[in-house]
Structure 1
Amino acid sequence: MVDASTVGPYDRRPEPGLRVRIAATIACIVIAAVVILALAVHLLVVQNRINQQRAAADNLVQVAMSIYQDQGVLTFDARLDDPSVPSELRRQLTRSGTHGTYLSGRSIRDVWAAGRVAGHILSIHSRFPTVDASVRAVDRALLIAGIATAVVASAVGALSANRLSRRLRLAARAARALATAASTPGAWPATSPGAADGSTLREAVGQGRDEVGDLADAVDAMAARLAERLQSEQRFTADVAHDLRTPLTGLNAAASLLDDSRPSQMVRDRVDALTTLVEELLEVARLDSRVETAQLEYAMIPAIVTRAVQRGIAKGEYPQDAVAVSTHDQGEPVLTDPRRLERVLSNLIRNALQHGRPPVTVEAGGSRVVVTDAGPGFTDEFLAKGPQRFQRSSANRGGGHGLGLIIAAGQTAVLGGNLQFGNAPGGGAQVVIDLPGAPPGRQPSSGSASAENAVIWD
Structure 2
Amino acid sequence: MRLALPQWAGTLAVKAAVFITVMCCALAALLGVLVHVSVTNQTVGQARDLALSRLEEATAAFETGDTLGRHASVDPPGLPESLRELALAGDRGTMVAEHRGRPTMWAAGPADGDRALAVEVDYSQSARTIEGLDQAILWSSGLAIGATLLVGAVAVTRVTRRLHATAQVARRISGGDLDARVDDPRTKEPARPQDEVAAVASALDSMAASLQGKLLAEQRFTADVAHELRTPLTGLHAAAELLPAGRPTELVRDRVAALRTLTEDLLEISRLDTGRERVELDTEPLGALTERVVRGSGTDTEVVVVRDARVETDRRRLERVLGNLVANAHSHGRGPVSLTVDGPVVTVRDHGGGFPEYLVAHGPQRFRTEGGSKGHGLGLTIAVGQAEVLGARLVFSNAADGGAVATLTLR
TM-score past 0.5 threshold: yes
Report the counterpart of residue 102 of structure 1 in structure 2. 93
Cα distance change, pair 115–415 in 1 and its aligned pair in 2 (3 A): same
Which residue identity is paired with 1:400? G
Paired residues of 2:182 and 2:205 also in contact (CA < 8 A)? yes
Report the counterpart of residue 202 of structure 1 in structure 2. 183
Question: 1:17-96 alignment to 2 at 5 Å?
Answer: 17-65=11-59, 67-68=61-62, 72-75=66-69, 76-79=71-74, 84-85=85-86, 90=91
**How far 1:137 moved relative to its partner?**
3.7
2:296 pairs with 1:325: no
Paired residues of 2:58 and 2:72 also in contact (CA < 8 A)? no
| Gap regions ≥5 residues in structure 2 | 76-82
Mean Cα deviation higher: 293-302 or 158-167: 158-167
2:7 pairs with 1:16: no
**How far 1:228 moved relative to its partner?**
1.0
Instruction: Determine which of 136, 151, 176 is the counterpart of 1:181.
Output: 176
The structure in which a higher percent of residues are helix is 2
Cα distance change, pair 215–141 in 1 and its aligned pair in 2 (3 A): same
Report the counterpart of residue 223 of structure 2 in structure 1. 238
Report the counterpart of residue 78 of structure 2 in structure 1. none
Distance 1:103 1:429 in 2: 94
Distance 1:87 1:67 in 2: 19
Question: 1:182-331 alignment to 2 at 5 Å?
Answer: 188=178, 192=179, 195=180, 200-203=181-184, 209-313=194-298, 319-320=299-300, 323-331=301-309
Distance 2:390 2:84 in 1: 108
Distance 2:197 2:139 in 1: 37
Which residue identity is paired with 2:354? G
Question: 1:329-368 alignment to 2 at 5 Å?
Answer: 329-331=307-309, 333-368=310-345
Cα distance change, pair 89–371 in 1 and its aligned pair in 2 (3 A): farther
**How far 1:110 moved relative to its partner?**
7.4
Distance 1:431 1:309 in 2: 15
**How far 1:19 moved relative to its partner?**
1.9
Paired residues of 1:299 and 1:335 also in contact (CA < 8 A)? yes
Distance 2:32 2:156 in 1: 27
Q: Deviations over 1:236-268 (max 9, x none)?
A: 101111111111112212222334433332222
What SS class does the counterpart of residue 348 from structure 2 fall into? strand
Cα distance change, pair 159–86 in 1 and its aligned pair in 2 (3 A): same
2:376 pairs with 1:401: yes
Question: 1:437-448 alignment to 2 at 5 Å?
Answer: 437=411
Cα distance change, pair 88–68 in 1 and its aligned pair in 2 (3 A): closer
* Structure 2 length-normalised TM: 0.81
CA RMSD in angstroms comes to: 3.6
Residue correspondences, number: 389
2:407 pairs with 1:432: yes
What SS class does the counterpart of residue 175 from structure 2 fall into? helix
Paired residues of 1:170 and 1:204 also in contact (CA < 8 A)? no
Paired residues of 1:374 and 1:428 also in contact (CA < 8 A)? yes
Distance 1:379 1:52 in 2: 88
Distance 1:397 1:420 in 2: 23
**How far 1:215 moved relative to its partner?**
0.9
Instruction: Determine which of 124, 135, 148 is the counterpart of 1:153.
Output: 148
Report the counterpart of residue 453 of structure 1 in structure 2. none
Cα distance change, pair 281–78 in 1 and its aligned pair in 2 (3 A): same
Paired residues of 1:354 and 1:397 also in contact (CA < 8 A)? no
Mean Cα deviation higher: 421-430 or 302-311: 421-430
**How far 1:225 moved relative to its partner?**
0.8
What SS class does the counterpart of residue 268 from structure 1 fall into? helix
